[in-house]
Amino acid sequence: MHLDRLSLPAVPIQIVILAAGLGKRMHSDLPKVLHQVGGRPMLAHVIETSRALEPRRIVVVTGHGGEQVRAAFPDPDLHWITQDPPQGTGHAVQLAMPALERDGSVLVLYADVPLTRPESLQPLADIAASGRLAIQTQVLDDATGYGRILRDSAGRVVRIVEHKDATPEQRRIGEMYTGVMAAPAARLRAWVAALSNDNEQREYYLTDVIAMAAADGIDIATVKPGHVRETQGINTKAQLAEVERAYQRMQADRLLAAGVTLADPARIDVRGTLDAGRDVSIDIGTVFAGHVSLGDRVIIGAHCVIADCTIGAGTVVKPFTHLEGVRIGANCELGPYAHVHPDTELADDVDIGNFVEVKRSKVGRGSKAKHLSYIGDATVGQNVNVGAGMITCNYDGANKHRTVIEDDVHIGSDTQLVAPVTVGRGATIAAGTTIWKDVAPGGLALNMKKQMSLAGWQRPVKGGKARLK
C-alpha cells in the first residue's frame, strides 16, 4: 500500500508502536509482527502509516524476538525499547515514555493491526493536541473479545470494561475499543505511572487510563475509522489470512478506481506496489511482488508471477509466465510459460514464447525466440530469429561467459552456442549446429554431417531385432 504524505496541519505528535506480543497462537518461531501482509511484515505497514503523519519520533516496543525485529528495520528514525518480561500494554507504554519528548502529544498504535490508514488517525492526533484524550472505537454486531465502551447518562465515556470482566448487560454493548489512543504527553506520562497490576493477569492495562482521564475531568473523544477492516488485529494464522484478503481487496479497489480491468477482484495478489497505465487488463491468479509498473494497454494473462518489473505499453504477458527484475519494452509478447530472470532487458516488439528462459541478457528490437530455448548471459541484437531448442552454453563449470548475437541473425533449431562466442550480423546458423568459434557476418555456419538412407529397413518387433531385408 503506497502512502503519500498527508496535506494536513502539522501536529507535534509522537508515536508509540506496541510490538511486544508473543504471538503464541501463531504457532511459529517467527515473531508475530514479522509475519507478512501484502508481501511485507505487518509492522512495516504500521511504520509506514506512522511516517505519513510526520511524527517527531517513532518508538517501537518489542519483546519476544526483539533482536530479529530490529534487524528487519534498521531505519535510523526508529527508537527501540525492549519489554522483558511482558507485563501488559500499560507497562509497554510506561517503558516508552522516557524515550519521548515531554511536550506535544502521543499516539499509541499496535503492530498487529496493519490496515489502519493515516487519515483515520489524524483526527485522534488533532484532538490530543488540544489537550483532550482521544480513543478509537468501532461498533460491531459481535464485539466478543473486545473491551466495551461504558458511558454515563450524558453519553460521556467513563471507562472501558474488558470482555472477560463485563456483565451480560455490558457484553451486549456493540461499541468496542480498538486499543488506539492519543493523549497529551504530560498527562499520559502521569496516567501510566499510576497504573496498577492488581488484577487476575497481574498486568498493567493501558485501558485503565480512560477511567483515570474521566476521573480527572478530561474530555474523552471517540473517533471511528473509515472502515471496520482498519481495526482488524492479528493473533492467529486464520486472522492473518483474513487481513491478507482485506488488504488485497483494498488493492483491487484502488486499481479498479484507476481504470484497471480485473477479471476477478478477489483473485489478485499485490505484494508490493503496482502502478498501471490506461486500459490495463489483468486476468485471475496473478501475483505482483516488489515494484511493478505496467504501461498503457498492457494485458496480463492468468496465473503469472511478476516481480520488480517495468512493462512497456501494449505488451501482452500470456498465462503462467514468470518475470522477475526485467525491463520490457512496448508491444512485446511473452509466454505462455516463459521465464525471464533478473538483469534482463527486452526492447520493443520482442517475442519470448512457450517454455523460453532468458537470464541476464539484452534482447534487441523485433527479435524472437518462440519455442523451447535458453538465452543466458547474452547480448542479442535486433531482428534476430531464434529457432526452437537453441541454447547458449554460458557455463564452463566454473565461470559464466557471454554470447553476442548481432543484428539480423537467423539461428536454426536445435543449436548450441558455446560461449564466449560472437555470431556476426546477418549470419545464418543451420539447424542442429554447435557453434564454438565466432561466425563471420553474413556467413552460413553448420557442422558437416553425412546423411545415409538405407533401403529395405525393417523396424524391430517385440522379441526380435531390427534388420535389413
- Residue of 450 and 96 predicted with greater confidence: 96
Q: Kindly indicate the confidence band of residue 338, based on its pLDDT and cuts at 50, 70 and 90.
A: very high
- Give the Cα separation of 26 and 35 in Å (integer): 9
CATH superfamily placement of domain 13-231: Spore Coat Polysaccharide Biosynthesis Protein SpsA; Chain A (3.90.550.10)
The pLDDT value recorded for residue 2 is 42
Mean pLDDT, to the nearest integer, of 277-282? 98
Mean pLDDT, to the nearest integer, of 437-453? 92
Residues 6+ apart with CB under 8 A from 263: 281, 282, 283, 284, 302
- Regarding pTM above 0.85, the answer is yes
The pLDDT value recorded for residue 1 is 40
- Residue of 361 and 461 predicted with greater confidence: 361
Query: Same CATH fold, 260-445 and 13-231?
Result: no
Q: Which of 380, 448, 447, 372 is nearest to 408 (CA)?
A: 380
Say what percent of the chain tops pLDDT 90: 87
Does 162 have pLDDT greater than 90? no
Does 412 have pLDDT greater than 90? yes
Residues 6+ apart with CB under 8 A from 313: 277, 295, 296, 297, 298, 330, 331
188, 209 in Cβ contact below 8 A? yes
- pLDDT tens readout for residues 57-81: 999 999 989 999 999 999 999 999 9
157, 149 in Cβ contact below 8 A? yes
C-alpha cell at 7: 496535506
Mean pLDDT, to the nearest integer, of 207-232? 94
The pLDDT value recorded for residue 138 is 94
Does 8 have pLDDT greater than 60? no
Beta bridge partners of 14: 57, 106
The pLDDT value recorded for residue 406 is 98
206, 89 in Cβ contact below 8 A? yes
Does 6 have pLDDT greater than 90? no
- pLDDT tens readout for residues 79-118: 999 999 989 999 999 999 999 999 999 999 999 999 999 9
- pLDDT tens readout for residues 14-60: 999 999 988 899 999 999 999 999 999 999 999 999 999 999 999 99
What's the mean per-residue pLDDT of the chain? Answer: 94
Task: Please give, one letter per residue, the 3-state secondary structure of the chain.
Answer: CCCCCCCCCCCCEEEEEEECCCCHHHCCCCCHHHCEECCEEHHHHHHHHHHHCCCCEEEEEECCCHHHHHHHCCCCCEEEEECCCCCCHHHHHHHHHHHCCCCCEEEEEECCCCCCCHHHHHHHHHHHHCCCEEEEEEECCCCCCCCEEEECCCCCEEEEECHHHCCHHHHCCCEEEEEEEEEEHHHHHHHHHCCCCCCCCCCCCCCHHHHHHHHCCCCEEEECCCCHHHHCCCCCHHHHHHHHHHHHHHHHHHHHHCCCEECCCCCEEEEEEEEECCCCEECCCEEEEEEEEECCCCEECCCCEEECCEECCCCEECCCCEEECEEECCCCEECCCCEECCCEEECCCCEEEECCEEECCEECCCCEEEECCEEECEEECCCCEECCCCEEECECCCCECCEEECCCCEECCCCEEECCEEECCCCEECCCCEECCCECCCCEECCCCCCCCCCCEECCCCCCCCEEC
C-alpha cell at 181: 489512543
CA 42 to chain centroid, in Å, comes to 10
- Give the Cα separation of 462 and 106 in Å (integer): 86
- Give the Cα separation of 353 and 356 in Å (integer): 6
Does 417 have pLDDT greater than 90? yes
The pLDDT value recorded for residue 299 is 98
Which CATH number is 260-445's, of 3.20.20.80, 2.160.10.10, 3.40.50.970, 3.40.50.1100? 2.160.10.10
C-alpha cell at 205: 492495562
Does 4 have pLDDT greater than 80? no
Mean pLDDT, to the nearest integer, of 310-336? 98
Mean pLDDT, to the nearest integer, of 208-235? 95
Catalytic residue, candidates 291, 303, 341, 371:
371
**The one-letter amino acid at 100:** L
371 a catalytic residue: yes
Q: Kindly indicate the confidence band of residue 464, based on its pLDDT and cuts at 50, 70 and 90.
A: low
The pLDDT value recorded for residue 468 is 63
Say what percent of the chain tops pLDDT 70: 96
Does 11 have pLDDT greater than 70? no
Domain boundaries, the chain: 13-231, 260-445
Most confidently predicted of 149-163, 165-179, 353-367: 353-367
- Give the Cα separation of 297 and 260 in Å (integer): 10
| Candidate from 2-6, 382-386, 399-403, 461-465 with smallest mean pLDDT | 2-6
